[in-house]
Structure 1
Amino acid sequence: MLNTEVPTVNRNLNSAPRIVGKLSEIVYACAEEKHQTIVLSNLPDDGNQLVAEAIHDLSSWADKPFFILTCQGQAGRNTRINLTHPVHCELPELFTNNLLLEPLHGGTVLLTDPYHLPIHQQQALLNLLADQLSLKLIINIKSFHRDLPQHLSFPLMKDARTVKVPSLRNHASDIRFAANYFLSKANLEWNKNIPGITEDCLQQMLLYPWPGQLPQLKEAIRRAAFLAPPNGMLELSSLPSQIRNFKATDRDFLKEAVKQAEYEMIYKTLRETNNNKRKTAEILKISRKTLYSKINMYKMNSYAQVLS
């Protein structure tokens, strides 16, 4: 089990003290009810995966597998379902081989873009994952169209709880919770026993705006833990230099943060519109010429390949 508090590592989930915050409230609430389907929104794909992993890790069934199924296709045509984490493979026999996923029974599945599937396949998948395999079902919809209520009427999402994951910026308790959760993961990965994070290190992490959100925080903690002594506290000196040396008046960094926010907004809107440039420009209230210029600047020319 994983620790979610400073300063002691506690591998017994039920006795671990909790840091209260919006993110932790979401994670713990979703981890308490296995049969409630969850729809995650408001974060890039990697961020939603980390939240789904946290829900699984802090649940009573954390000893069971966590995996990701990705649905691909064009609104019911040429659809396929692939296993994309922790390994990659196609699953052409998913609906004909009842024992294919049996070793994953009782765990958690993150299901990406299930609206690509026709209704009858959604129902069959729901029966397989929830009923036969008794899995915690978490849904990640990459393309949150404005007809989301229609998505929620689909079989897989009919009774789902939609959760809006907050940004890390200006959410001190969320940063504390996530940092200690990622430290526990790093301890397991690197076979270390780092008991916690020093206060000056935490304060610097609270100051930093985290434009890369949860994935950036995870990688910073993971790297710092790898380089830190095996039994001492995680100190400020272990953080990456761009985080360790950041000051609130750092103009160059703030410019980069603005660019990162702009990139994420364009990226998200292109997904929402299924790569429709005209609609994207309208939503962002910029000209198509400006949109194309920014797509070139951020090297997003191959974006259509991401959607396929």
Structure 2
Amino acid sequence: MSAPTNIDVKALGKVGVLFGGRSAERDVSIMSGTGVLAALQSRGVDAHAFDPGVRSIAELAAEKFDRVFIALHGRFGEDGSLQGALEQLGIPYTGSGVMTSAVAMDKITTKLIWLMHGLPTPKYATLEAGADLPKVAADLGLPLIVKPPLEGSTIGITKVSDAADFQAAYELAAKYDEVVLAEEFVTGREFTVTVLGRGKDARALPIVEIVAPQGNYDYQNKYFTDDVKYHCPAPLDAATAAEMARIALAAYRALGCEGWGRVDVLLRASDNRPFLLEANTSPGMTTHSLVPMAARADGMSYEDLCLEILASARLKMVKA
């Protein structure tokens, strides 16, 4: 793949890089946005930092940005709320639109759409106060995963191996969301597939395999240690890699994602079958992040990746 040398940097105008925000992933967003800002500036883009966590929408409008790069993660940045404000302000933005951002942020709704499209995803149950946890454990089997469906970066997630720990896991996840997701635990290898573009033109980058200590790919290991091993391109036979890329692209398109995104996949050990976990519409761009890693394996520098994503910014609620 060639670097985006055909992009007219001056035509991009005044650019806002939005990072920080008010979600539980604020610290990660600051790391992502700082990297994106430096990368764009190094390529001559008139790029400026803007933190919606400490500055208002009125201030955003007053900046008169010609387009913005969204490097926010989680609520109020990745969930469609900011995208709606940008549509109202008429400021083109990177990534998916209002509806897709909201849907992809909700892991339960995402599963429903994937299942409707015949795409494989682990069995699950939704939990609310008073849920029959022993019955859920019997239906899904142990171990199982309990998570808040509207959070990212493994925040609030617990692997439940003993039924006696289920209630505590539910209570932890319920601190973040009223409805909690319980999910079948798929034993196998963990992968992620980066996708760039939209519609029929969307393309998958080389697959990354994630090998975490004791399989624990948690918040600390994701961003703050060097204990996790990454393999890109992932050591997969051609048929398995092709099938994984196929379902990741199908998952991305089913949700209506565009610009860029990352689809997380598990490969079940018992039969080498891939299962979709979740889609990220504003993935991390830190030094430990997986999207830049996939781009490098495809011959694209971090700077060119940021530039290509920025060039794809548009308003989604008017016909392009």
Same fold (TM over 0.5): no
**TM-score normalized by structure 1?**
0.27
**TM-score normalized by structure 2?**
0.26
Q: Please tell me whether Structure 1 or Structure 2 has the larger radius of gyration of its CA atoms.
A: 1
**Higher-helix-fraction structure:** 1
**Higher-strand-fraction structure:** 2
